[in-house]
Structure 1
Amino acid sequence: MTTTDPDGATVLRLRAAGCVFAEDEARLLVEAARTPEELHDLTRRRVLGEPLEAILGWAEFCGLRVIVESGVFVPRQRTTYLVEQAVAVTSPGAVVVDLCCGTGAIGAAVAARVPGTRLYACDIEPASVRCARRNLEPIGGHVYEGDLYDALPGRLRGAVDVLVVNAPYVPTDEIAMMPPEAREHEPLVALDGGFDGVEVHRRVAEGAARWLAPGGHLIIETGESQAAWTAAAMSAHGLVARTATSDEWYCTVAVGQRPHAPLPIRS
């Protein structure tokens, strides 16, 4: 059965709720609904602030349809720039780790663009791990649950070519200012970056050199005002760091490379 919205009621409800792209969202909800009653329920959920992607069960990201479950961080379009930066340094057959993977969208996008990618991903949040497995296992990816590097199999230590990370970088005091669809429907652990937004980045940078192969890259999405701090954390732990910003995607990343020379042995 094909559901229709002949009087435009769905668009009107979404407009009244403040949805900026009401027409586009209404079209997607109408396509997703199997009955008028289901359309009413889907629209109600959106009006109450639930992310559209969680309602639909998928998000469009880098040309892929990524599964999105309720309560999981929704991939942002700006993160396309993170993917582009990762692809630029990823060779066919490389070992890629999507750390703090959420749905696994970043890893999936890199694997779709680089042939033979050996993909691993991890997250501390159980619902995210479950969702990422649905996205990545069908393409040969491996997904683990745990806190950052603790989740990864030991055989990857010193063997990762590209470590791509979209860790939380919103300062704790700014969480309350985020849109309700994020702060009320996405896990806090995926949003809260600590007092200055860079606490998780520092933890990632601290362990990166031990997991990267010589010449390997760590790429982290960060805030424009925080990029210098993220890059400094990389430099402090032996990586050669730089930052890059895209006006098109309104996104900033910090990129750190492990030197090819052996790391110094610390007592």
Structure 2
Amino acid sequence: MVHDSVCGMERFGCVVYTRYTEVMPLDYLADEVYARLVRAGCVAADEEASDLLAAAPDEATLAKWVTRREHGEPLAWILGSIEFCGLSILVDERLYVPRLQSEELARRAAERLPRDGCAADLCTGVGAIAAYLGQMAPNATVVGTDLNLSAVRCARRNGVQAIVSELGSSLHSGAFDVVSVVAPYVPTEQLRLLPADVQRFEPTLALDGGADGLTQLRRSVFDAQRLLHAGGWFLAEVGGVQDRMLEPVLRFAGFDSFSSWHDEDGDLRGVCAQLI
């Protein structure tokens, strides 16, 4: 993209356009947008190009968005929202972007939440899981917690009853049917293996799980032990072989009916256990 500061026009490839244009389909730029995203290393370049083209109100905006994506900025930050379990979830810059793999955790949590029950979503971030639980059980009480005030504000914009809290420390004991958590679980030494754009833009605090990746997850287990009533469910997102590492912690804390799930590629994605 080339910017002409004199005439206030920008160039998308060889196409020159002004900043003030009528809204019109931008499909004729699809090939160029796709090619630029491929060159930038975007894995899902075709899907991202379609999302950008569909959302951009004009060529000027599209050009700026593509440039931002080329620099590695998360697509959700650029568009301002992301689809999660069929919901449009607002996402603010500098906040962790909900991942597709978290949808299965949300669905499993919803299956275990009584229609008029209570659920706590710890480390709620922008509130994607909590928003889905509220959608699936509109008569239930769902609360999200996060240490980041900006995340709490964004979660509230997504319709979530969210509070600033370290995990479940501010919530009542024995009041919940379900506790879910997507805590940081990447071992510190493996942060350098994450995609470059994730390392550059997304908050380390939302990714770094400590030496073995379980620093916050272990704490969340004992918070869940206090928050849940007998028979309540704890669900957490994990990876690698962390299910084997977390199972004895859960059993020590009084949980049973331990299970885990994997994605279609066979990668571990989460664990679930019931408080005895």
Instruction: Answer yes or no: same fold by TM over 0.5.
Output: yes
Larger radius of gyration: 2
Pairwise CA distance, 1:3 = 5.1
The correspondence for 1:37, drawn from 32, 35, 60, is 60
TM-score by length of 2: 0.86
Structure 1: distance between partners of 2:136 and 2:241: 30
Q: Is the 8 A contact 2:231 2:274 kept in 1?
A: yes
Name the SS of the counterpart of 1:213 in structure 2: strand
**Dislocated runs of 4+, deviation >4 Å:** none
* 1:144 aligns to 2:154 (yes or no): no
The correspondence for 1:6, drawn from 23, 28, 44, is 28
Cα distance 1:112–1:248, how it changes in 2: closer, same or farther (>3 A)?
Answer: farther
Aligned CA-pair RMSD = 1.7
Counterpart of 1:254 in structure 2 is 271
The correspondence for 1:191, drawn from 207, 219, 239, is 207
Pairwise CA distance, 1:129 = 1.3
Pairwise CA distance, 1:242 = 0.9
Counterpart of 1:105 in structure 2 is 128
Structure 1: distance between partners of 2:199 and 2:34: 24
Q: Is the 8 A contact 2:76 2:91 kept in 1?
A: yes
Counterpart of 2:44 in structure 1 is 21
Structure 2: distance between partners of 1:171 and 1:179: 15
Pairwise CA distance, 1:77 = 0.9
Name the SS of the counterpart of 1:44 in structure 2: helix
Matched letter for residue 77 of structure 1: L
Listed as ranges, the gaps of 5+ residues in structure 2 are 1-22
Q: Deviations over 1:212-238 (max 9, x none)?
A: 112111111111411111222211222
Q: Is the 8 A contact 1:168 1:197 kept in 2?
A: yes
Aligned residue pairs, count = 252
Structure 2: distance between partners of 1:157 and 1:9: 56
Q: Is the 8 A contact 1:14 1:26 kept in 2?
A: yes
The within-5 A match list for 1:221-240 is 221-240=237-256
Name the SS of the counterpart of 2:28 in structure 1: coil
Matched letter for residue 54 of structure 1: W
Counterpart of 1:167 in structure 2 is 183
Name the SS of the counterpart of 2:76 in structure 1: helix
Pairwise CA distance, 1:86 = 1.0
Q: Is the 8 A contact 1:161 1:217 kept in 2?
A: yes
Matched letter for residue 24 of structure 2: T
Structure 1: distance between partners of 2:111 and 2:146: 24
Matched letter for residue 143 of structure 1: A
Q: Deviations over 1:209-265 (max 9, x none)?
A: 211112111111111411111222211222225122134374432222222xxxxxx
* 1:214 aligns to 2:230 (yes or no): yes
Greater Cα offset, 49-58 or 201-210: 201-210
Matched letter for residue 252 of structure 2: A
Name the SS of the counterpart of 1:108 in structure 2: helix
Name the SS of the counterpart of 1:158 in structure 2: coil
Listed as ranges, the gaps of 5+ residues in structure 1 are 260-267
Structure 2: distance between partners of 1:6 and 1:73: 33
TM-score by length of 1: 0.89
